[in-house]
Amino acid sequence: MSVIAYIESNNNRVKKTSLEAAYYAAQTAKLLGTEAIAIALGTHDAAELAALGQLGISKVLHDANPRFDSFDSGAVCKAIASLAANSSVVVLSYNQNGKAIAPRVSVRMKAGLVPGATALPETNGDFVVSKNVFSGKAIAHYQIKTDKKVIAITPNSLQIVRGEGSAAIESVSSGVTDADFTTVVKSVEKASGKVALTEAELVVSAGRGLKGPENWGMIEELANLMGAATACSRPVADVHWRPHEEHVGQTGFTIRPNLYIAVGISGAIQHLAGVNGSKTIVVVNTDPEAPFFKAADYGVVGDAFTVVPKLIESYKKFKASSH
């Protein structure tokens, strides 16, 4: 009864979120005394799949049907359930696609789902997986009561460790037919050259303290320099200073980067709900009483218009000295 990791690629590279799923599956397999097998659907790079061996995957089941290159939650679900029929645990990332797939797989396999796991399972006695609830204000330990389990892991919640090894690739057919594809992808819009917010390890965010959309140049400059994604608070998205794709918070995106730099954001509880899983939070605000300082690791009480340019200069110096 192996452990399955569902793998996605983007531009022939295995997604970082899928590397996390592979590592999580391998560690879970170790706890259960079994092997970890990956499932890859559609177009993937063979060397990338073989390299999953470094994370502890022994074998990759690859159904190269190109129809999988257009995402369809029903078809992917059917393929996973069919290829994982003899497995006990299915692990996948709770990224955008994972949120569409995991609940379907749970129903199809009658396997209890933990939607957004943040740590490896406890397997002594009950099978228990922890997950953040109440927007990160608490942790719930979910017991999965069924024999089969689906664990969808929150992106960026565990550090992968690479070892040696190469996974064997086995071409398979998942038994999915054309009739199983019910979603027609009409167009794809991707902001090129920008770091995807929900996958970013570093995020630079700004709010009303910037006074107007014309002042975002320095935020973008800092983000570009650092290889960070840009984000914003809800009021700023609501008045269209920034696109709503950048809105983080309770009704926007939830992110958990390694570093979140918040400039001119007071830190309303609804905003914190979307970012309090960040590993390190830096807050820049003129108001020393801003509630965000209570959630911050590092705080700078000062005017964004003088602090951010200084931060840019300091980062440039750091970059120059470390290369």
Segment 299 to 318, residues that bind another protein, using CB under 8 A: 299-303, 306-307, 310-311, 313-315, 317-318
Q: Closest CB to another protein among 164 and 289? A: 289
CB contact at 8 A, 117 and 155: no
Q: 219 and 245 in contact (C-beta within 8 Å)?
A: no
| Least gap, CB of 179 to another protein (angstroms) | 12
Counting residues that bind another protein (by CB under 8 A) gives 101
Q: Which is nearer to another protein, 37 or 226 (CB)?
A: 226
The reply on whether position 254 binds another protein by CB under 8 A is yes
CB of 119 to another protein, least distance (A): 12
Which parts of 197-236 interact with another protein (CB under 8 A)? Answer: 197-199, 201-202, 226
The secondary element (H helix, E strand) that includes residue 234 is: helix 234-238
Distance of CA 175 to the CA centre of its chain: 29
Q: Is 295 in the site for another protein (CB under 8 A)?
A: yes
Distance CA 64, CA 69 (A): 9
φ and ψ of 18, to 5 deg: -75, -30
Here the tokens at position 108 are: 């199809």
Footprint (CB under 8 A) of another protein, residues 133-172: 133-146
Q: How many residues does the chain have?
A: 323
Angstrom distance (rounded) from CA 232 to CA 243: 9
C-beta of 96 vs 166, nearer to another protein: 96
Beta carbon nearer to another protein, 50 or 120? 120
Compose the 72-101 pattern: x for residues touching another protein by CB under 8 A, - for all others. xxx--x----------------xxxx-xxx
Q: Does 12 bind another protein (CB under 8 A)?
A: no
CA distance 230 to 107: 36
Measured CA to CA, the distance from residue 134 to residue 42 in angstroms comes to 36
CB of 100 to another protein, least distance (A): 4
